[in-house]
Amino acid sequence: MKQVTISTPFITMIVLDYGAIIQKLLVKDKEGKSVNVVVGFNSPDKYLEDTKSLGACVGRYAGRISNGKFELDRETYHLHQKDGVHLHGGKEGFGKKYWTIEEVHQGRQPFVKLSYQSKHLEEGYPGNLKVNVTYKLINNQLHIIHEASTDRTTVVNLTNHSYFRLDDANQINEYNLKLNCKKVVEMYANKLPTGEIISIDLTPFDFLTEKPIENTRLDNAYVINPKTEVAAKVSSEKSGISMEVSTNQPGLVVYTPLDFPAICFETQNYPDAPNQKNFPNCKLRPGEIYSNKSKFVFDLL
């Protein structure tokens, strides 16, 4: 397993070729000490046993697809599923694959570019898909660029699955959170979309005004307000670190796991878009380029 380290005066980042995983992301707190703001393992080999997609590139379709299948151009494609739910690309999504390190640049705006070739009908998806992910550091910003091209029509939804923890506390209740999202994708109990988009008014998921997370636990697909530049902001008064998230994607899955303190911001399309006609387009055809551009900006309060 290979590691690549890139850094600016503000951020140091360690990336693995396995899963294109962000193993460590070190930023300075208010006292000038380096804090690893992503949850992960010190030993790269531990990721081989990971079941939570820690720091990984998730694909070919991030999130859930209903009934383990979808129809595309009048043909039905069957996917791996458990209890009627296909999750994060299948039994072995992109986060469980070895990627090729294409390029490493250590200059003023350092970056590492990785690629993966997903073969036709891998996990049941049509098309030979060429995927690139580039992690680029610009001063205090992490830019993540996912790109993909295909030789036949397919569906694509890529995201990074880092779990953020902005301090060394064993809880996130005191983190302040703001989400520039007025609506969420309505879900059934199994977290599959009903197909409806609903308002967050009078729900515990309303973070339009910045407030502490407290005991609210989230696993929601938010609809990003297209008029806003920043989709989300989270901060820790203990460390003094704040992080802003912006993206060209229509959705933001915000996830706080129950078994350890952290928060995910998965910039992506809506779950189950292949089966929901009123959701944003997730099809990629030959000659087109899929592009997910997301930015994470770290600062001090």
pLDDT tens sequence across 78-122: 999 998 899 999 999 999 999 999 999 999 999 999 999 999 999
The CATH code of the domain that includes 8 is 2.70.98.10
The pLDDT value given to residue 49:
95
The pLDDT value given to residue 38:
98
The pLDDT value given to residue 227:
87
Q: Taking CA 141 as the corner, what is the angle to CA 168 and CA 131, rounded to the nearest 5 degrees?
A: 105
Q: Percent of the chain scored above 90 by pLDDT? A: 97
Active site residues: 161, 266
**Whole-angstrom Cα distance, residue 294 to residue 298?**
13
Whether 56 shows a pLDDT value over 90: the answer reads yes
Whether 200 shows a pLDDT value over 90: the answer reads yes
The predicted model scores a pTM of: 0.97
Over range 140-161, report the average pLDDT: 98
Over range 32-44, report the average pLDDT: 97
Full residue range of the structural domain in which residue 148 is found: 3-300
Q: Which residues contact 67 (CB under 8 A, 6 or more apart)?
A: 81, 84, 275
Stated as kind and residue range, the H or E segment containing 166 is none
Q: Which residues contact 43 (CB under 8 A, 6 or more apart)?
A: none
Task: Give the total number of structural domains in the chain.
Answer: 1
- pLDDT confidence band for 21 (50 / 70 / 90): very high
